[in-house]
Every structure is written in structure tokens, then in C-alpha cells.
Chains A and B, each alone.
Chain A
């Protein structure tokens, strides 16, 4: 809590809890453990079906556009950097700086979503891969779509926090709210790295 000497808050220790970890942060960590299993089940489904393609299953290599996906992956990673800066800013009580970083994170998140919309559109109309016409389409769209939904929820959360900060209710004391949101956002990014590797890059081995 308060550090009497400097008057700043200790963001790594909450004296009101038995462990010193803020409740909200612990809740988010536990939720992310659970979310790992959600993605684990979906990624396993994709990897298992990948090994047993039925006759006529489209070849992923002919469909994927790795340069584009690499770009959107890079953008998503940069959004994580901006998220970290936002958390850092609010922990120092700098609301204005936090707002700027949040806005950049949102912007990068939207670019990623835009790339995904473009990719889905392209795959369906140019490459004729739909969610119903093959097992590849089924697992690919469900898995990446679920991830996209996570990004969308993150963007909505970030945007809500951005506007909420104008009420003056997001201060250094509420840094843990931003930090929990940041944990979620970083997790969604890390999952994407796993998906990018296991779904896209694996096909080129």
C-alpha cells in the first residue's frame, strides 16, 4: 500500500490480502490458466485433424498468406508493448500518457482484426475455403475466430477503459484494473504466437 517515505503506491504488494497479490490480479491469472485450457482444446482439435486429412481436404500451404499474417502478428506484438507502457503510465499516475498508450493499443488491435477480416474474406471468396466445406475450414475458422473474438473483447475493454478514464475515476489507485486488462491482452497475444506457429508456420516445415 502506501509508502510513507515517498508517498507513492507499491503496485507489487497489497497489504490487505494474505499473499500481497491484489485480488483482481490473482483472479485474472487464474482465469488465464482456465483460458489456456480453452485454447488448448481448440488447438489440439486443429492439430489432430491436421494429421488425418480426408480425401479432397484443401492444402493449407496453397491458402495461407504468411507475409500478411506475419505483418498482423508483428502489429499485435507491438500492441503488447503499448499495453505495457499504458500500465506503466497509470502506475505512475500519468493518466494522459496512459490514454495515449491505450489508444495506440486499440489502434493496433483494430489493425489486427482488420487483417483477420480481410484474410477470412480472401480465403472464402478467392480460395474457396469455407467453414462448412472441409475439416480444415472448420478447425481453422473456429480456432482463429475464437482468438479474434478474444481480441475483439480486449479492444472493447480497452476502449471502455479509455472513455472511462475521462470520468476521472482511473487513477494510480485503480492501476490494478488496467494491469489486469493488460495481463489479458498480453495473454491473447501470446496465444496468437502459438496459433501462428502451430497453424501457419507448421505447414511449411
Chain B
């Protein structure tokens, strides 16, 4: 990203001598150190996105291997054991290392711009979230390079399959520790976003003027801080069982495996809304922009999003209908599950209401967004089918379920995230993706996706079970499986084209200066594309729900306000910028060392990790949340005044 290029205005003025308690204050604006110590929400978001795309491609490669194995009956591309590893890592990677961080990339880059802020509330905590996420990703994937192999007990990690008795290898330890680190990263990031959205809104940006993407960031963040503790405790209990021989899931001593399922799905169901709500937010930004109409029924869309968030905590047992919960519990969860379709349906109708009668501009982001509505609806329909417990008893663990959740996760989340990449690419990189190649990749992805997953509905209804590495030729599943595999490769080609085009655009794409889509929300009100490090030379004042749309039509009023704000900023010492810091990275490295040490039951290394972590945290607090000031120069570009600020 571009703070590196934009930073030329920080002309050669030397920083003042650091205060006594500060040990090292990195000031590099380019190069490796600047990335490792950055606290800029845009750079951090970019790194999240970069890691997410890499893991998205890795997870996609795992999916292709799975489809290759299932292309024909009694295939031998993968052994049963390798197949287990593939579906475990495919699920874990796509959920935790691809979709969540890609959403997080948008939270980081877009949300502060949409509320008219210069950064998140706790910039260094944000860096800590990023690096701890990377640490978790390393721990989960390190098994590929070791004798014990990568995790292979399913992304749901059902105990007692994951207990020491049945999986003595370290592979499950990597999974347990990796997810705990990712949980820490997600919770820290979510806390930061909550404070940012509630407290850092620009003047006039009331809660009911927040762009819907920011609203969904807020709801998602609450889901994260309230649901991740459940899986973290489940993982702690499993880790205690594996490391210290406790009895949480040890049946012979009174442990109950059903407890794992409850704790896991108390997290696991809100998790699916953690994956889809940001996507709904993105679509709620794109549809109005390209329909050239305000979002239809904004308050209802916001309320529905919050309602989905609440209800998301009351439906977890529909993942467990076949475990024998009892009639009353089953009926209650069945009803709650049907109820959650209502706010979701409301949103669909509002999106249709938004494009109804609009002047549609069929750009690539719009194509993906429209694809999202259609595909997500299909996934929603099969979801409502599962909510009826008797029907679910037939569909449980069959390919019908696979079809359902890939329609909501690819047709839903991924389509919207791909739409978001195209939509915000000009904002983030100052270049625009070619319409021809963008649309081509959309159609290849769209066709490949449907060819892969639509036949799986029939496979499931014909009884093909999940998580089996091969099947006999006389089951009637051959044709559909072969079609699905062909589709998977078409989808793979589509994704390859998509990212090849994005990569090309990053280096050679058409440059855009300002507001390429005639945008409506504040992220397009930045001084230049890509935004400078300080985002806004003057904090905007918000007068309407579509803040930037209003700005464009009241330029005299806005210019006057801007001048006032610049003056006010100057009176407070100029534009306040946070200092960079290395200590969040140090703390995350400590967590990585300690995590790996614990996986290997190695006390000395665990303690080394703990010490490094604590050292990072202490130095982080001791250096303080200081910053420096920029002043608007005569050319309208800020210069560093060289004075430290605290």
C-alpha cells in the first residue's frame, strides 16, 4: 500500500531525541522495518489481505486435490489419511485464514475511512492482532513440514477423536494452539474495532448515519468477542486433556463428548455470521453505488443485521439435531433457525428494493454483488430446509450440507469479498481493474462455482456421505462427482484469472485520481487515491447518511467547514499521528515461540516464549501511546513539525 510513496512529505526533519523511557522508536517510512513496525490501519489491512489471499489460494489448492480424488470411483490420488488432512486443512484454512482475515482487511482499511477517522482507537493493538494472526497461521500450518503432519481431525475437532487416545500426534496440538492464537488475534482486533466505531466517529456521524459496512463491522466484532471465548475454553479443555491428562472429554472418567459439540457450536454458529455479515455489509455499499440510489430501508437493513447477530447465538444446536437433544430442545432450536431466515430475507428484499428502478451501472463489483444475492439466496433456501429437524436428520453429514454451506460461503462471503476487492481497489491502490478481465473472471467463477456445487445437492439427497475419501462405482454417484470435479477446475481457473488480473493491475493498471464510481460514503472523501497516511487533511463533518454524496453537492459549505477544521487542528498542534512501534511484533513473536513450545510439551521454550511476550507487553506500555504532529504546508501537503507529542 501506499503510505510508503506518500510519505515523501515527511521531509528530512530529524525526530527529536526520544524520551528517557523509550528504548527504540522506529521511524522508517519505507522498507521492511516500516512494515514490521507499522501502526497505520491501511498498511495493516493490506498485510491482512495479502496473507488472506495467499491462504485462500492454498485452501483452494487443497480443495482441488479433494475434487481430484473424488473425480472417479475408487480413486487413489490421495490416501484416506491424506484426504483427512486435506478436508481438515481446507476448512480450517478457508474459514480462519482466508475469509476472516480478508474481512478483517476491509474492516481495517475501509471502516476508519468510512467514519472519518485517522486511524483505529489503538493502533499498536491493531499491529499486535495482525502479527498474532500470522503466528496462529504459522502454528496451524507448521505440521506440513514436520513428521507428524498437518491437522487431520476435521475443522470441528470433535473430541474424543482429538483426544490423545485417538490422535496422539502433535498435528492436533498445532490445530489447538493455532486456533487459540487466532482467537486472541480476532478478539483483540474486534475490541479495537468496537471502540473505534463507537468513539472515533467524525462530528455529525451518528450511529444511524454509519455506512452499513461499518455497522456490520460493529455487529461482527461483537459476535467475535462474545463467541470466540466458547471455542477458546473448549480448546483449553482439550489442551488440558492432552497435556495434563484431565478428564473433560475422557469418557471413562465421566467426561462427555457432547460438551465439546455444544461449546464448539456455541462458537461455530455465530462464526458463520462472522463470515457472512461483513459480506452483507460490502454488498450494501456496492448496490446503492451502482444503482445510483440510496440503500432502500437503511434502518431495517441495520436492524436486520443486528437481529441476525442476536439470533445467531440461539441456533447452535441445529448442528446437533441428530445427537438426540430431546424433543423440546430440538423444536426450540428448529424454530429459532427458521426465525433467523426472516431478517435475512428482509435484507434480500431491501437489496432488491435498492436496485429496483435504479440506473444500474453493470461494473465488475456490481456483477459480483448481484451474483451474491442470487447465490446466497440458494444457500439460504437449503439452509431453511435444514432447519426442519426431521429433514435435517436425512441431510446430516451428506453432500447436501456441503452444497448448502458452499453456496453461502462461496456464493455469499467469497463473491462479496471479490466484489469488495474490485470496488475498493482504486481507493486502496489508486488503480482500476480492467472491466473486460474483471467480468470475464466473474463469469468463469460463476459458472465454475455452480457446476461444482449444484450437483452436490443431488449427491447428498442420493446419500453420498461427507468426509469419505472414496466411493464405489455402483452407487449412482459417478456422473455428478465427475461434473463437480470439472466445475472445481473451472472455478480454479476463474480464481486464477481474477488474481492474475488483480496482480497485473497493482503494477500496470489504469491510474485513477479520485472517486471512480461516484461513491456515496466517506471513504471516497480522502485527499487523494490512495489515501495519504493521515487519511483526511481535515476531519470531515457529516451532514447526511451518504456523507460524501452530500459533500459533492454542497462543496462551498464543505470547503468552509474544512478550513475551520484545519484551523482547529492547528490550534491543537496539528494533525496527530501515532508513532510506529516494534513491541506488538515482539509480543506476537513471544506468543509464537510459547505456542510452539507448548505444542511440543517443551517447558524451557514455552517459558522463553512467555518471557519474550511479557517483555514485548511491558516495553509496549512503557514507551507510551505517543505520536507526532503534521502541519498543512502552503501546498496543502502536511509537513512533520518534528515535535514529539504525548
Contact = CB atoms under 8 A, between A and B. Distances in A.
Nearest to A141: B246
A160 B255 CA distance: 40
A23 B237 contact: no
Interface in A182-202: none
Contacts of B226: 33-34, 37
B233 interface: yes
Interface stretch (B136-144, B191-199, B545-553): B191-199
Contacts of A74: none
Interface in B182-221: 187, 191-192, 194-195, 198-201, 205
B343 interface: no
Contact of A135 (B201, B253, B266): B253
Q: What is the interface residue range for chain B against chain A?
A: 35 or more
Interface residues of A, number: 35
Nearest to B244: A131
26 contacts: A18-B199, A19-B198, A19-B199, A21-B199, A30-B194, A33-B226, A34-B187, A34-B226, A35-B229, A37-B227, A38-B232, A38-B233, A40-B229, A41-B234, A41-B266, A45-B263, A49-B255, A52-B254, A54-B254, A131-B244, A132-B247, A138-B253, A142-B237, A160-B618, A160-B621, A169-B21
B254 A135 contact: yes
A114 interface: no
Given A26-B194, A138-B253, 5 more contacts: A19-B199, A23-B122, A26-B198, A34-B225, A142-B246
B191 A27 contact: yes
A57 B250 CA distance: 14
Contacts of A45: 233, 237, 248, 259, 263
B240 interface: yes
B575 to A, nearest CB: 14
Contact of A138 (B191, B194, B195, B248): B248
Contacts of A19: 198-199
Nearest to A57: B254
Contacts of B259: 45, 48-49
Interface string B466-495: 000000000000000000000000000000
B263 A41 contact: yes
B307 interface: no
* Residue with the greatest number of chain A CB neighbours at <10 A, chosen from B194, B229, B237: B229
What are the 7 tightest A-B residue pairs by CB atom distance, in nearest-first order? A54-B254, A37-B229, A41-B233, A135-B254, A34-B225, A17-B199, A38-B229
A17 B198 CA distance: 9
Interface in B230-284: 230, 232-234, 236-237, 240, 244-248, 253-256, 259, 263, 266
Contacts of B246: 131-132, 138, 142
* Residue with the greatest number of chain B CB neighbours at <10 A, chosen from A18, A42, A132: A18
Given A37-B230, A131-B244, A135-B247, A23 B256 contact: no
B121 A30 contact: no
A198 to B, nearest CB: 16
* Residue with the greatest number of chain B CB neighbours at <10 A, chosen from A41, A54, A134: A41
B489 to A, nearest CB: 42
Interface of A: 17-19, 21, 23, 26-27, 30-31, 33-35, 37-38, 40-42, 45, 48-49, 52-54, 57, 131-132, 134-135, 137-139, 142, 160, 167, 169
A117 to B, nearest CB: 18
A135 B245 CA distance: 11
A135 B396 CA distance: 31
A53 B256 CA distance: 11
Nearest to B234: A41
B279 to A, nearest CB: 24
A169 B621 CA distance: 12
Contact of B256 (A26, A34, A49, A131): A49
A55 to B, nearest CB: 9
Nearest to A174: B624
A17 B200 contact: yes
Contacts of A31: 191, 225
B232 A52 contact: no
Interface string B593-616: 000000000000000000000000
A177 B322 CA distance: 50
A135 B254 CA distance: 6
Contacts of B266: 41
Given A27-B121, A138-B246, A54 B253 contact: yes
B202 to A, nearest CB: 8
A61 to B, nearest CB: 18
A31 B226 CA distance: 10
Contacts of A139: 248
A40 B64 CA distance: 40
B436 to A, nearest CB: 43
A42 B226 CA distance: 14
A17 B196 CA distance: 9
Nearest to A49: B254
A23 B618 CA distance: 20
A38 B229 CA distance: 5
Nearest to B248: A138
Contact of B199 (A26, A49, A138, A169): A26
Nearest to A16: B199
Given A34-B226, A38-B233, A42-B233, A167 B21 contact: yes
A48 B256 CA distance: 10
A138 B229 contact: no
Contacts of B263: 41, 45
Contacts of A23: 121-122, 195, 199
* Residue with the greatest number of chain A CB neighbours at <10 A, chosen from B225, B227, B236: B225
Contacts of A34: 187, 191, 225-226, 228-229
Given A45-B237, A52-B254, A54-B253, A134 B229 contact: no
B256 A52 contact: yes
A134 B201 contact: no
Contacts of B253: 54, 134-135, 138
Given A34-B187, A135-B254, A142 B199 contact: no
